[in-house]
Structure 1
């Protein structure tokens, strides 16, 4: 499952996304069972030894990795095993688990009667807070702000979702492009969530460069303006915190615009050396480093601004999770080169 959307729309599009999530939610089911009750069959399906709660489900890639981690089976080896050997390994190590260990299996039934999927294996203490819940809260909060907004990106896969929102009335020019046109940037925020334990709920301030849809994630020494693990969740408390987080994100986004203006005045003596050091510090591949170099060449400037934009432009070649992380790193680079944090 992977859904991507990049449109200029607002309330109607968000409601369209919510409708799709509502339809999907009818096929979801969370099952809490003793971990030692699970049994792998040679046909690749898993079953519950003591009941019919789990009857012919398969693990997706993410859940397979979680199972391997929980049973201390090397993940790469387990994935490469043929079904018969996978069943032998899994059933052996399941028996070694504690008798009082319970797991929450987050499942999805198929539409056509084919085997359902276990999409995540969580602790029984995990508190679900699904994409539809956080998006419903965002819908309510955005209505309270009474501001026009645009959805710049909606990306959803097996392990998480990303929603990027900007506000047209918070648009400003950060100098000019090489053709003399204004370099338009817009303030907004980025929300991410995972229903299967890959990440917490996060809301991060961001600045969006309209000419090339680069995103620059907000970063400060205190981290995200909103971050909540999937434990001890309360809907009303989350709603209040999200309201405050979006307000703070807009303020921080405005500060980031000022930092970008300063960055355009901050000359970098050896920008390629700076890029190479950033790549080394973050263990970027040679291929990604080359893409950053190419992106910098397209920027046609030798300032901190152009180094940062090269990073965010190169990040567009990555998947949503990696792109978001690289955009956050670009913001840290901005702070280091301009603000000195």
Structure 2
């Protein structure tokens, strides 16, 4: 599994961010992109923010500007990009939530976006993980531009996929403050032989960031009132219950049984061609595809189970934590492939 921050490092960064970030509800009529690619917010005070990549993507999507053309203007003609964005801001004004951190506009979201922030989430779930007792171990945490991850295993809950190949149950808790996904609690299968992690995305539980409209006329920093705080407390109590129920023996056994079945689904064709077909289906780049083939051959297990382990092992080689986590989820995609799709991969010549 891809390593990340220590728990102490995560806690310190979450605390720092919670004291620095600011949110605004503002009409696009008071927003203006500059020729240098910054965003100016006019209101009670004039404020200017560098625009993060995620926010650029969201602005392009909201204004229906094709992503490739938006990026081309951003790279080659920033003044043209500003004219386009500002023109649509004025022609079709609407109220949006602008999320900022460290002088950056990090998200451009619906005014109904419900702020389920990482600090509050960690404050809710870490005590629950502690109370769940010995054997529960946080193995990896990270804060990327898009998401927070907390990956946990339960060393007391383990089964064999095959003789000597032991896996442990766990969970991945993830959240995005910038609209790049829901709050999720997903089962994690942790393989002891090579410390691979497979996220069973088909069994995930989600909470979406949708809330009430802000009051009319707001175009200033958004402060939480007691009603919102009470609503959040109730919400995070439900999240705590979800975390307590996440490491479930029945669910774990079901996933492991599916992994056992995968050991019998042999690759009977050319492994190189099998990986090529999988690469095309799953959208891997050349480096990722080469890594999967290498680990498949080195693992010596030419089966669906060997393929999923090759994918999750390759995730450890990637620098980007977000992409590594995506490959950890892809391991479970192998288990979910229709029989006809797996047969095509397994028999590739």
Flag whether TM exceeds 0.5 (same fold).
yes
Counterparts of 1:69 and 1:335, CA distance in 2: 31
The equivalent position to 1:247 in structure 2, one of 237, 245, 248, is 245
Moved more, 136-145 or 246-255: 246-255
> Could you tell me which residue of structure 2 aligns to residue 237 of structure 1?
235
Whether the 8 Å CA contact 2:186–2:246 is kept in 1: the answer is no
Alignment correspondent of 1:64 = 56
Cα contact 1:203–1:246 (8 A) shared by 2: no
Structure-to-structure mapping, 1:298-313, within 5 angstroms:
298-313=298-313
- Return the TM-score normalized by structure 2: 0.79
Match of 1:284 in 2: 284
* Corresponding pairs, count: 315
Secondary structure of 1:255's counterpart equals: helix
**Could you say which residue in structure 2 is the equivalent of 1:259?**
258
Whether contact under 8 Å (2:39, 2:105) holds in the other structure is no
1:162 aligns to 2:149 (yes or no):
yes
SS of structure 2 residue aligned to 1:72: coil
Distance 1:43 1:292 in 2: 41
1:204 aligns with 2:191: no
3-state SS in 2 of match to 1:26: helix
| 1:179 aligned partner | none
Per the alignment, in what secondary structure is the counterpart of residue 13 of structure 2? helix
1:194 to 146, 155, 176: 176
In the TM superposition, 1:322-337 aligns within 5 A as 322-336=323-337
**What are the within-5 Å matches in structure 2 for residues 90-109 of structure 1?**
90-98=85-93, 101-109=94-102
Secondary structure of the residue aligned to 1:125 is: coil
Runs of 4 or more above 6 Å deviation = none
Any residues of structure 2 matched to 1:34-113 within 5 Å, and which?
34-52=27-45, 54-74=46-66, 75-98=70-93, 101-109=94-102
User: Which residues of structure 2 form unaligned runs of 5+?
Assistant: 212-230, 343-349
The CA distance in 2 between the partners of 1:84 and 1:237, in whole Å, is 44
Aligned-pair CA distance for 1:307: 1.7
Checking the alignment, whether the CA contact within 8 Å between 2:175 and 2:184 is kept in structure 1 is yes
Residues 292-323 of structure 1, C-alpha deviation per residue, up to 9 Å, x if partnerless? 11110111122332122112112334433333
Q: Is the 8 A contact 1:188 1:250 kept in 2?
A: no
Structure 2 partner of 1:135? 122
Q: Distance in 2 between matches of 1:335 and 1:86?
A: 42
Structure 1: 5+ residue stretches without partners: 8-12, 110-115, 177-181
Instruction: Give the SS at the match of 1:95.
Output: helix
Q: How many angstroms apart in 2 are the aligned matches of 1:234 and 1:149?
A: 26
Decide whether the 8 Å contact of 2:144 with 2:321 is kept in 1: no
Equivalence for 1:10: none
Task: Note if 1:269 corresponds to 2:261.
Answer: no
CA distance in 2, matches of 1:276, 1:46: 43
For the aligned residue pairs, the C-alpha RMSD in angstroms reads 2.8
Q: Distance in 2 between matches of 1:14 and 1:118?
A: 27
Q: Which residue of 2 aligns with 1:33?
A: 26
Q: CA deviation at 1:271?
A: 6.5
Residue 167 of structure 1 and its aligned partner are, at CA, apart by 1.3
Q: CA deviation at 1:139?
A: 1.2
Counterpart in 2 of 1:112? none
Assess, with a 3 A threshold, how the Cα gap between structure 1 residues 45 and 311 changes in structure 2: closer, same or farther.
closer
Counterparts of 1:26 and 1:299 in 2: how far apart (Å)? Answer: 47
Q: Greater RCO between the two (CA within 8 Å, min separation 6)?
A: 2
Residue 227 of structure 1 deviates from its aligned partner by: 0.6
2:197 corresponds to? 215
**1:186 and 1:207 in contact (8 A); partners too:** yes
